[in-house]
Structure 1
Amino acid sequence: MPTSPNEVLDQLVTDSAKTGWATMTIPLALFKAFARESGWEAVATRRGDSSVSKLKPTVSAEAPVRSVSAATGLEAQLLHVDGAHLPFVPDIVVMHSDTVNSTATRIWKPSFGVVHSSAVQHGVFIVGTGRDAFLACAADDTGLRFDPYCMSPADSRSRDASSLLTSYDDVYEHAWDEPNKLLLIRNRVVLHGRARAEKGEERELTRIAYRTGPLK
């Protein structure tokens, strides 16, 4: 049985391997210290941003250009991998809320058959736009890379892959129903996104993406 904060958090990471996510109630500062001691690298998911970001439901007109919020506003987001547009996709995404709110985070783990299908493994997407655009598949040896907001299908297999990865079943809805709730997501294993938010919802999550290297 874990007897120290680091052992508890080690167990949280281990538990996340089973479903692609795990949750507990803990101050964020304790998790950040654990991540530093584990040698994890916090990375920004948008150019020019801090590695620590604040997520708030935002109407489209007020959201950063080309962000998920700019595309969806307060409506439910299509499920995605954070940082899919980066050369190296983060391994772990952590979200934390100091307060209770009523807007869930939705999570879906695609089946083995979907992830290892020819469409997902070999369909080619154009990732991003302009001079920073590159080609990639929706999965590789280290896991998923899929975000329908920044990835455009470039062939018939990638169109099939996009259909497979937006046809959700058995979606888990994580409730932010306690103060200091922390959600750890294995970003290369599952897709996630915010549920529909009500206008004026007092919801603010702190998000940190990490590159960790191999995990248990």
Structure 2
Amino acid sequence: MPTSPYEVLDQLVIDTAKMGWATTTMSLSLLKGFARERGWEPIATRRGDSAVSKLKPTVASEAPARSISATVGLDAQLLHVDGAHIPAMPDVVVMHFETVNLTATRIWSPGFEVVRSSPVQHGVFIVGTGRDTFLACAADDNGLRFDPYCMTPADRRSQEAFTLLTSYGDVHEHAWDEPDKLLLVRNRMVLHGRAKAVDGEDRELSRIGYRTGPLK
């Protein structure tokens, strides 16, 4: 059994590589040190943000323009990958709460038959808006690129891909039921999103996206 914090994190990475996500209880500072030692590159997933984001459920009228919250407000989010709108996406996403929180994070792993289907592999989406717009499919050799909030189907196959990737199967509800709980998500293998926010709860999630290369 792992005994030191870094042994625990090594096992967390192994489990994430296999399952798409894994969780433990640990301070975020330990994870940051672990990531530095292994050469993981932290990246911002929104222009003007730092690599470490603080996320809070926000009513639509007060949310940043073009953010997911600007569309859904406090309602449940459609599941997505982080950074779909940037060419070089994070390989893993770390999420952390210092305190207990009642609003779950939902995770879904599309099956092989979905990811390797012709619509997902070959349907063309318009990604982003304005001068940063580009074309992409919902999956490539590195995995998924899908965010229903910033990707618009541009042909019949991408319309089918949109349906496939929003028709969820067995969704895992990750509970933030312990202080210092940490969730590691293999960003290009699974989709994730916040459940409907619990009324009146002060929920501030720390999130970091990392480029890691292949997980081992």
TM-score, normalisation: structure 2: 0.98
Cα deviation, residue 17, structure 1 = 1.9
Distance in 1 between the 2:214 and 2:13 partners?
A: 12
Alignment partners' CA distance in 2, 1:36 and 1:97: 20
What is the CA distance between 1:118 and its match in structure 2?
A: 0.2
Aligned-residue offset at 1:131 = 1.2
CA RMSD in angstroms comes to 0.8
Say whether 1:120 aligns with 2:120: yes
Equivalent position of 1:103 in the other structure: 103
Q: Give the gaps of 5 or more residues in structure 2.
A: none
Name the SS for the 2:18 alignment partner: helix
* Partner in structure 2 of residue 27 of structure 1: 27
Task: Give yes or no for the alignment of 1:11 onto 2:43.
Answer: no
Answering whether residue 131 of structure 2 is matched by residue 131 of structure 1, we say: yes
- 1:191 aligns to 2:186 (yes or no): no
Aligned to 2:63: 63
1:46 is aligned to 46
Contact 1:57-1:201 within 8 A present in 2 as well: no
SS in 1 for 2:10: helix
Detail structure 1 runs of 4+ shifted over 3 Å in the superposition: none
Q: Distance in 2 between matches of 1:90 and 1:9?
A: 18
State the distance in 1 between where 2:182 and 2:198 align: 22
Q: Give, in angstroms, the shift of residue 197 of structure 1.
A: 0.7
CA drift of 1:200 comes to 2.1
Unpaired runs of at least 5, structure 1: none
Which residue identity is paired with 1:76? A
User: Could you tell me how far apart the structure 2 residues matched to 1:169 and 1:20 are?
Assistant: 15
Which whole-Å deviations, capped at 9, do the CAs of 1:68-103 have from their partners, x for residues lacking one? 111100000000000000111110000000001110
Counterpart AA for 2:139? A
Identity over aligned pairs, percent: 76
Count of aligned pairs: 216
Q: Is the 8 A contact 1:106 1:195 kept in 2?
A: yes
Partner of 1:171: 171
**Cα deviation code 1:39-88 (max 9, x no counterpart):** 00000010011000011111001111000111100000000000000111
| One-letter amino acid matched to 1:24 | T
Deviation at 1:214, TM superposition (A): 1.4
Report matched runs for 1:190-209 at 5 Å. Answer: 190-209=190-209
Task: Kindly state the Cα deviation for residue 170 of structure 1 after the two structures are TM-superposed.
Answer: 0.4
In the alignment, which residue of structure 2 is the partner of 1:146? 146
Q: Which amino acid aligns with 1:82?
A: D
1:139-182 deviation per Cα after TM superposition (whole angstroms, max 9, x unaligned): 00000000000000000000000000000010000000000000
Distance in 1, matches of 2:198 and 2:72, equals 13
Question: Which amino acid in 2 is paired with 1:72?
Answer: V
Match of 1:212 in 2: 212
Q: Measure the CA separation in 2 of the matches of 1:96 and 1:198.
A: 18
Q: Is the 8 A contact 1:92 1:184 kept in 2?
A: yes
